[in-house]
Amino acid sequence: MESISKAAFRRLPRYHQILSAYEAVGREYISSRELSEILEINETLVRKDMADLKIRGKQNQGYSISALRLRIEEFLGLQEITEALVVGGGHLGTALATYPGFEHYGLKIVGVLDSDPEKIGTRIGGHQVVSVARLASIIQKKNIKLIILTVPRDVAKELTEVAVNAGVLAIWNFTPCELNVPAGVKVRNEQIIGGFMALSHYLKNVGGAAEENGD
Amino acid sequence: MESISKAAFRRLPRYHQILSAYEAVGREYISSRELSEILEINETLVRKDMADLKIRGKQNQGYSISALRLRIEEFLGLQEITEALVVGGGHLGTALATYPGFEHYGLKIVGVLDSDPEKIGTRIGGHQVVSVARLASIIQKKNIKLIILTVPRDVAKELTEVAVNAGVLAIWNFTPCELNVPAGVKVRNEQIIGGFMALSHYLKNVGGAAEENGD
């Protein structure tokens, strides 16, 4: 099994985004220095990440952007399809179920569930909305390992339990709840408000000195 | 100006979420060990973060949850109101404009803008949708410092330039674009796909050894 540090692992999505953006404008190579400046991290750290990914740069050119992007995709398993259910068909669930580009990363939404009788049977992003009462049976029937949770706070824990008991191994959690799951099940908490917190701090301190120390 | 490390800074939203969750169920104290286990980081690091925040624990009890939460809110400036415009009234923009709980963190959405003539004039989350053509004038009139960008990729850069020229200092970027902004303007890239990448890696390696090294 391949292994890199947790901190490096957390940087991979950003690397991937930067590489994709540069590739889209026709760039072929990027230097560790450029990457370090965009990510605002030490260049040594970028070089270490690249070494961990077993990516080598060329003298005076840097890293091949497409090779590095593909290496990250391979490492993260993005080239294989992952099927997922969106649980909760509110605004956020709808946004995620219709998000353009997920399939580009191997993420395929195969169903949307909701508890609202007025929503059940309507279509969201090409999917007919199904009752959450059928969550377990759909997970089992389709052998789903990932759910995207966008339900209200008061039902998040209950539906998590149902999903895990039905065989789900990963939960992409967009609710503000801390979910308790058994060992072997991975939760990714998507704290939308976290991004605002960083900006809030910046706005409240604009005009002061640099607002943060280095890493 | 107060200052903590960037890495510690990035942990504050997670601390805040955990503290809020524990507070909601009536807990009063939390230990550095519990925090370290939930965040999957070293206990020494938690203690250092608390020391940086100038928060002291009590022997055998740990940290006061409410005091620590308030300290984080104070540090991040969440107790003052930040007014923001949502630029882009699609599913994601609508989800953000109607997200329950933003005001709890001092984030107040004061307007929603879109370019679609069919959307302009309709209501999203209590706001009458306004044409993006009015972006600069609204920013100036309301003295807005933060925009939440959820527009399609092809107009992201142009609207960023308009907003920055009109006086915006912070951009919460939900588009997949890398935005170029002048010094003094802060961009927070919200890469929704990043969360999936972590889960994808997990799902593709389930059954193997621990998938990551320590920090």
Residues of chain B above pLDDT 70, percent: 95
End-to-end CA distance of chain A: 28
Lowest mean pLDDT among A40-44, B72-76, B124-128, B158-162: A40-44
For chain A, positions 112-141, list CB contacts with chain B under 8 A: none
Residues of chain A above pLDDT 70, percent: 95
Residues of B in contact with A5 (CB under 8 A): 212-215
The pLDDT of B181-192, averaged and rounded, is 92
Q: What's the whole-model pTM score?
A: 0.83
Q: Quote the tokens at residue B129.
A: 């949708």
- Determine which helix (DSSP H) or strand (DSSP E) holds A110, and give its type and residue range: strand A107-114
What's the count of helices (H) and strands (E) in chain A, helices before strands? 8, 10
For chain B, positions 46-85, list CB contacts with chain A under 8 A: 75-78, 80, 82
- In sign, the C-alpha dihedral spanning B19, B22, B28, B33 is negative
> How far is the C-alpha of B209 from the C-alpha of A3, rounded, in Å?
10
User: What is residue B2's predicted lDDT score, i.e. its pLDDT?
Assistant: 63
| Whether the predicted pLDDT of A212 surpasses 70 | no
| Whether the predicted pLDDT of A1 surpasses 60 | no
> For B172, which of A1, A77, A199 is closest by C-beta distance?
A199
Instruction: Write the ipTM.
Output: 0.85
* Domains with residue ranges and CATH for chain A: 6-76 (1.10.10.10), 82-193 (3.40.50.720)
User: What is residue A206's predicted lDDT score, i.e. its pLDDT?
Assistant: 81
Lowest mean pLDDT among A54-58, A69-73, B128-132: A54-58
Q: What is each CA distance from B37 to A34, A96, A164, B4, B40, in whole angstroms?
A: 35, 30, 21, 22, 5
User: What is residue A2's predicted lDDT score, i.e. its pLDDT?
Assistant: 63
- How many residues does this entry show for chain B? 215
Nearest CA in chain A to B81: A200
User: What is residue A4's predicted lDDT score, i.e. its pLDDT?
Assistant: 80
- Contact status, residue A147 vs residue A84, Cβ threshold 8 Å: yes
For A86-112, how does the pLDDT look when each residue is reduced to its tens digit (9 = 90+)?
999 999 999 999 987 898 899 999 999
For B114-159, how does the pLDDT look when each residue is reduced to its tens digit (9 = 90+)?
999 999 999 998 999 999 999 999 999 999 999 999 999 899 999 9
> How far is the C-alpha of A142 from the C-alpha of A139, rounded, in Å?
5
Pairing of strands B123-124, B127-128: antiparallel
> How far is the C-alpha of B32 from the C-alpha of B62, rounded, in Å?
7
- Contact status, residue A50 vs residue A57, Cβ threshold 8 Å: yes
What's the count of helices (H) and strands (E) in chain B, helices before strands? 8, 10
Q: Quote the tokens at residue B174.
A: 């939900």
| Whether the predicted pLDDT of A124 surpasses 50 | yes
Residues of B in contact with A202 (CB under 8 A): 169-170, 186
Lowest mean pLDDT among A6-10, A55-59, B19-23: A6-10
